[in-house]
């Protein structure tokens, strides 16, 4: 798709769904769609309860990293699907997806107080999507990478015929 921007009403509906996610809010996570097929989940301030990974209270827990990746890659996929022409006229909140596989490589200790998980779509077809991403610390250092596969569930009355 040549236009890398989603219509504002789609972004608003998307944010309403994620902004109301109690777990995301409880973890202090913020999501941003930065373009079609690209998203960032930010942890602007690590809480004490989010530390304790790698045997040290000085690093971010791997479970928090996994959730950030699940959100960033999943949101990137959703933004890609929502930008498809066959989504016109469909309530964006009716499109569902589910993580099939999320493979994470923890490259270096995630120490610091601010992190960003960047997600990008590799390929999205009618029923399945692939994405990859990286977790960066405040200095831009890669602490972890991820790749994943998602199952796409179109609204029954609006499933596209073409991939």
Band of pLDDT at residue 130, cut at 50, 70 and 90: very high
Res 163: pLDDT: 47
| 2-24 pLDDT, tens digit each | 356 777 877 776 776 666 678 87
Evaluate whether 120 touches 37 at the Cβ level (below 8 Å): yes
Q: Is the pTM of this model over 0.85?
A: yes
| 101-119 pLDDT, tens digit each | 999 999 999 999 999 999 9
Number of helical H runs and strand E runs in the chain: 3, 6
Evaluate whether 11 touches 33 at the Cβ level (below 8 Å): yes
Instruction: Look up residue 121 and give its two tokens.
Output: 């779509």
Between 148 and 29, where is the model more confident?
148
Q: At what angle do helices 8-19 and 62-82 cross, to 10 degrees?
A: 150
Enumerate domains of the chain plus CATH numbers: 8-153 (3.10.129.10)
Cα 163 from Cα 153, distance rounded (Å): 13
Kind plus residue range of the DSSP H or E element containing 12: helix 8-19
């Amino acid at each position: 798709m040549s236009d890398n921007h989603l219509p504002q009403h789609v972004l608003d509906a998307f944010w309403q769904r994620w902004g109301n996610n109690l777990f995301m809010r409880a973890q202090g996570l913020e999501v941003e769609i930065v373009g079609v097929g690209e998203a960032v989940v930010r942890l602007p301030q690590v809480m004490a309860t989010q530390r304790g990974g790698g045997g040290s209270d000085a690093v971010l827990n791997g479970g928090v990293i996994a959730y950030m990746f699940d959100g960033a890659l999943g949101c990137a996929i959703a933004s890609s699907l929502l930008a498809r022409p066959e989504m016109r006229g469909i309530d964006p909140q009716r499109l569902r997806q589910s993580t099939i596989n999320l493979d994470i490589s923890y490259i270096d200790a995630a120490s610091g107080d601010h992190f960003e998980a960047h997600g990008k779509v590799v390929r999205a077809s009618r029923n399945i999507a692939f994405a990859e991403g990286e977790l960066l610390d405040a200095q831009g250092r890669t602490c972890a990478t991820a790749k994943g596969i998602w199952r796409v569930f179109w609204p029954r009355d609006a499933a596209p015929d073409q991939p």
